[in-house]
Amino acid sequence: MPPSSLRVVYAFAREMHPKTSDVFIQYGTAGFRTKANLLEHVVYRMGLLAVIRSRVKNGRTIGMMITASHNLEPDNGVKLVDPDGEMLEQSWEEIATRLANVSDNDLESTTAEIIKQVNADMSLKASVFIGMDTRYTSPRLAAAASNGVIALKGTPKEFGIVTTPMLHYCVKCRNDNTYGTPTEEGYYEKIVGAFKNIRQKLPVYGEYNTTLYVDGANGVGGKKLNIIKKSLDGELDLHLYNLGGNGGKLNLNCGADFVKVSQKPPVGVEHVPFQRVASLDGDGDRIVYYYVDDKDNMILLDGDRIATLLASYVTELLKSADATDLKLGLVQTAYANGASTRYITEELKVPVSCVKTGVKHLHHAALSFDIGIYFEANGHGTVVYSEKAKKAINNISKDGEPEQRKAAQLLLNFIDMTNETVGDAISDLFLVETILCAKGINVKQWLQTYTDLPNRQLKVTVKDRNAISTTDAERRCTSPEGLQTRIDEIVSTYKSGRSFVRPSGTEDVVRVYAEADTQESADKLAAEVARAVFDLAGGVGTRPELPT
């Protein structure tokens, strides 16, 4: 592409999407995320980058998702999706950050430099799929994304309001037509179709009942479940709450992140004792379950619980299908409750890998197994299956003994019900409901598999989150000097104590996690560690107080 062709890049930026802020913005664990009013020039530039990426990938389709996921409504964000439906290749995160932060005057030359650096053939066709969440700022940002694509002569296709996992799915299908049809309807056909197929093979028995309450976080996931609800043929009786009406604000006092972090039930949901509730997040890529008991206590069933449920069921099916030579593994982060890790390794005898926070790290580690299950405690996760596993299970479903065939056919439905590209609240909801039905258990029985260690998460605002460096999958702190020694000293005074700190991927805060033998001890341990972070890592504002 001759330099004169890049003039339109500057013209679009100057006339329609000028850079009006000097705030430095970084491509974090889930792309760029900040106040929506700071993002228009960034999203326009990511449209440019998506076209370059598409051409580097020989014209394969790239995705752009406009969302700030579980953040509150004033925020927004953008992330790029690679051709297989995975997160943007990590080496490109620095390129994205550089392009987002240059001045408008340098945009043309920097774009030319990046094209040369990545050796993009600009004569190739380029295709970019664009999706957005329900935020009122999303349509304007989606338009900026389209303009970025058009400025470099790429072809944008706008999907309108979709869940983040739907966009990942559509990108994957567009580049691999064996995976499915790259439309919202194609997504329903595959994932919801597989759920109905498997449920017709499983009788409802034991303590399981088909009623499920859902907290939609006033976001897109609840809206899509409202569409799906009509086609479930009675296999699941969905009662949907927080669908965005009646003044409900996106993710405000509701949704998976609120439920997980605050350990409180969301507002806007009618509660019946021991009735299971699934809470989605704002863009539909996280899910946690909970119930309220007869004393109004909330009992959380988070990503760790979902992961252990999936691991136990898939292990059972592999045994029944006599496919135990397939290597099953589970991937967690340091946030996983210690009790869940012990249960998986000692009871289920499934190997566990621990990786850095961020779904891209979990997804990559899961690919090293024939069947890899990964979940963050926050409810973001899925299952990935190697071609070897799919082929072996398919062969057993045709040629095995009757009982083996039956188990293999259930596994094939299970695979189709899974969105392998990324954590998907809707897909995960159907997986969980399938397993609870197959086992004939209710939420109390699900909870009884192991007892969580009480835990607490806190945030400490700091001048610069990059002052904190970590190692050992973020479980140990390497800077600032003296902080890890202080954490070790504090932890040593608590029974079953464990704590770690890590810089947020999205804001200038340090996240503190602690667990101990009692809730009182976990709360106190978290507060003591938070004070150490404040003192040694440049805390801002008021020093955290110890619980009384």
**How far apart are the C-alpha atoms of 332 and 242, rounded to whole Å?**
30
Cα angle 346, 356, 484 (rounded to 5 degrees) comes to: 90
Mean pLDDT of 204-213: 96
Q: Is the pLDDT of residue 518 over 60?
A: yes
| Residue 171 within a domain | no
Residue 227 lies in a domain: yes
392 marked as part of a ligand binding site: no
- Measured between alpha carbons, how far is 39 from 81 in angstroms, rounded to an integer? 18
Instruction: Give a yes or no: residue 491 inside a domain.
Output: yes
Rounded Cα gap, residues 202 and 199, in angstroms: 5
Q: How far apart are CA 96 and CA 335, in angstroms?
A: 28
Counting Cβ atoms within 10 Å, is residue 157 exposed (0-12), middle (13-18) or buried (19+)? middle
pLDDT of residue 506: 67
- The identity of residue 142, as a single letter, is A
Whether the pLDDT of residue 1 is over 70: the answer is no
Rounded CA gap, 70 and 280, in Å? 9
For residue 250, which of 7, 400, 68 has the smallest C-alpha distance? 68
| 76 bridge partner residues | 34
pLDDT value for 504: 87
Predicted pLDDT of residue 358: 83
Is there a binding annotation on residue 505? yes
Does 69 participate in catalysis according to the annotation?
yes
Same domain assignment for residues 91 and 67: yes
For residues 295 and 319, state if they share a domain: no
Question: If you average pLDDT over residues 231-239, what whole number do you get?
Answer: 95
What is the distance between the alpha carbons of residues 379 and 423, in angstroms, rounded to a whole number?
8
Please state the rounded mean pLDDT for residues 294-298: 95
> 485 and 345 in one domain?
no
69 marked among binding-site residues: yes
Indicate if the pLDDT at residue 401 is higher than 70: yes
Is it the case that residue 497 has pLDDT exceeding 70? yes
User: Which pLDDT value is given to residue 245?
Assistant: 79
Domain boundary among 400, 423, 446: 423
Q: How far is 100 from 26, CA to CA, in rounded Å?
A: 8
Residue 22 and residue 156 in one domain: yes
CA separation for the pair 33, 31 (Å, rounded): 6
Whether the per-residue pLDDT at 4 is higher than 90: the answer is no
Residue 175 has pLDDT above 60, yes or no: yes
Q: How large is the average pLDDT for residues 376-393?
A: 96
Structural domain containing residue 60: 3-161
Q: Are residues 417 and 476 in the same domain?
A: no
Question: What average pLDDT does the segment 510-530 reach?
Answer: 96
Evaluate if residue 2 carries a pLDDT over 90.
no
Q: Is the pLDDT of residue 146 over 90?
A: yes
CA of residue 199 relative to chain centroid, distance = 26
- pLDDT tens, 304-328? 999 999 999 999 999 999 998 999 9
Query: Kindly report the CA angle at 522 between 521 and 523, in degrees rounded to 5?
Result: 90
Kindly give the residue spans of alpha helices, DSSP state H, lying in 335-424.
338-342, 359-366, 387-399, 402-417
Q: What is the mean pLDDT of the chain?
A: 95
In a domain, 429, yes or no: no
> Rounded mean pLDDT of 155-181?
98
Alpha-carbon distance of 141 to 314, in angstroms, equals: 41
Q: Alpha helix locations (H) across 92-207?
A: 93-101, 104-117, 138-151, 164-175, 184-187, 193-201
pLDDT(295) > 60: yes
On whether both 349 and 493 belong to a single domain, the answer is no
Residues 471 and 495 in one domain: yes
Residue 507 has pLDDT above 80, yes or no: no
Q: Are residues 312 and 366 in the same domain?
A: yes
Does 255 share its domain with 344?
Answer: no
**Annotated binding residue at 456?**
no
Whether residue 264 is predicted with pLDDT greater than 60 in this model: the reply is yes
- Residue 368 confidence (pLDDT) above 70: yes
**Residue 115: inside a domain:** yes
How far apart are alpha carbons 224 and 320 in whole angstroms?
35
Give the chain's domain count: 4
The pLDDT value given to residue 30: 83
The CATH number assigned to the domain holding 460 equals: 3.30.310.50
Looking at the fold, whether 27 and 81 belong to one and the same domain comes out as yes
pLDDT at position 309 is 97
CA distance 378 to 418: 18
Q: Are 482 and 537 in contact (CB under 8 A)?
A: no
Q: Residue 45 annotated as binding?
A: no
Q: Give domain status of residue 472, yes or no.
A: yes
Are 10 and 103 in the same domain? yes
The region of weakest confidence among 20-34, 189-203, 366-380 is 20-34
Given a contact cutoff of 8 angstroms between Cβ atoms, the answer to whether 354 and 332 are in contact is: yes
What is the dihedral sign for C-alpha 150, 154, 157, 160?
negative
Whether residue 143 is contained in a domain is answered as yes
Residue 3 pLDDT greater than 90, yes or no: no
Question: How far separated are the first and last CA of the chain, in Å rounded?
Answer: 66
- Residue 506's closest CA among 158, 48, 69, 50? 69
Residue environment code for 362-377, b if the CB has 16+ CB neighbours within 10 A, otherwise e: bbbbbeebbbbbbbbb
Residue 168 lies in a domain: no
Beta pairing class for 127-132 and 62-66: parallel
Task: Count CB neighbours of 341 within 10 A.
Answer: 17
Neighbouring CB atoms inside 10 A of 388's CB total 13
Per annotation, catalytic residue among 54, 69, 353, 521: 69
If asked whether residues 294 and 307 sit together in one domain, one would say no
- Is 285 marked as binding a ligand? yes
- CATH code, domain carrying 343: 3.40.120.10
Q: CA 175, CA 481: separation in Å to the nearest integer?
A: 47
Q: Is 257 annotated as a binding residue?
A: no
